[in-house]
Structure formats: C-alpha cells, structure tokens
Amino acid sequence: MNKLKYLLFLVPVMAVLLFSSFNSNKGTTTKITKEDLVWHTDIKEAMDLAKKEDKPLFLFFTGSDWCGWCIRLQKEVFKTPEFEAWAKEKVVLVELDFPRRTEQTAELKTQNMQLQQAFAVQGFPTVWFAKADNKSGKINFEQLGSTGYVAGGPSVWLSGADQIIAKFVHDPKMAKKNMPKPAKVKVKK
C-alpha cells in the first residue's frame, strides 16, 4: 500500500517537472542536443556568433518529425562523437526545421521559409555551408556549397563537408586576434 501511495505522489510530480522543463525552453532561440552541441534556430544570433568566432554557418534544412532521411542523417552522422568534435571546432550550427507535428512561432516559420527560398532548397535534408554579412540591415550570404544525406557514416560525410568549408575565407582581422602572442623573454645583461 505504501508503494502505491508513493507512486500516486510521484507521477504528478514528474508530470509537473516534465511540463515545466518543456515550457521553460519555449521562448529560447537555441536548442541543446544530448551531445551538448548548440543548434541555433535564430539566424541573426547564429550570424553574430559565426562572425565573432570566424566560422562558417552550417545551415541544416530538415523536417525533423517526418523526414526519414533527415532522421537517418542525424542518427548516422550528427549524433556521433566524430561529428560533435568536428562541429565544435569548425562551424556554427543552425537548424532550420519544417516540422509537421511540432508547433513553431510565426517568426520562426517565416525566417525558415525565407532561408529555404534564398538557398533554393527543394528537398530534405539539405545542409548549406555559408558565410554571412549583415550590411546596412541586409543579410548577404556567400554560399560555400551544400550536401545532404551521404551513405558511409561520419568519416565519409565529414570528408565532403571539409572539402566545402575549405572555401571559407577567414577574416584577416580575426586571424590576428586569434594568433597566440609571442612570449616575452627577459635577457640578462
């Protein structure tokens, strides 16, 4: 009988905790995966970070809750330790989702549709690598290249991605900032 009372108490508590944690993420512009990768959903926020870190944008156009190839790409590549290490070092991740069952804000839907049109995305999954500039309130993208699902796992997929991002031209100002400073050596006379 004590176990039943405990269970009857525990179920509503767990439901409240689960519901509150779900709602606490509703207004955020980033989504954290279990691999601790940060996937941005706000393109302007991602652009600012990409500029600051001098990295290309990784624009993942997906139908997260219905596209079988998108789910397969995530499982076989994006949720692997190899991809996680590569992504943290080389790109700023942006998820541009077109779900059928998951609700999105009107602003997010509009942003994703505009980017889908700008990059002429006709199928999912599509990953575009790009460099972005915001000049006088207008966003300009330099398209580096795109890919989608590639069979062969993370090493094959990352090899193709590396070929695309090799076209990324780093900002010379950022290169100077990121260079290690020479050590000062005191010379005795």
Q: What is the mean pLDDT of the chain?
A: 83
Contact 30, 41 (CB under 8 A): yes
CB atoms within 10 A of CB 183: 5
Note the pTM of the prediction, 2 decimals: 0.76
For residue 188, the one-letter residue type is K
Mapped onto helix, strand or coil, the DSSP state of residue 2 is helix
The conformation of residue 131, written as its DSSP 8-state character, comes to E
Q: What is the pLDDT of residue 30?
A: 57
- Tell me what pLDDT residue 182 has: 56
Measured CA to CA, the distance from residue 154 to residue 36 in angstroms comes to 18
Q: What is the DSSP letter of 30?
A: E
Q: Are 116 and 141 in contact (CB under 8 A)?
A: no
Q: Which residues of 91-104 are buried (b: 16+ CB within 10 A; e: fewer)?
A: bbbbbbbbeeeeee
Confidence of residue 26 (pLDDT cuts 50, 70, 90): very low
Distance, in Å, from the CA atom of 105 to the CA atom of 46, rounded to the nearest integer, reads 18
End-to-end CA distance of the chain: 86
What stretches of 64-170 show up as alpha helix (H) in DSSP? 68-73, 81-90, 106-118, 154-165
pLDDT at 111: 97
Q: What is the mean predicted confidence (pLDDT) over 87-110?
A: 97
Coil vs helix vs strand at 69: helix
Q: Residue 175: helix, strand or coil by DSSP?
A: helix
Enter the DSSP assignment of 102: S
pLDDT of residue 9: 40
**pLDDT tens-digit readout, 141-157:** 999 999 999 999 999 99
Q: What is the pLDDT of residue 14?
A: 37
- Note the pLDDT tens digit of each residue in 48-92: 999 999 999 999 999 999 999 999 999 999 999 999 999 999 999
Cα–Cα distance for residue pair 5/118, rounded to 1 Å: 57
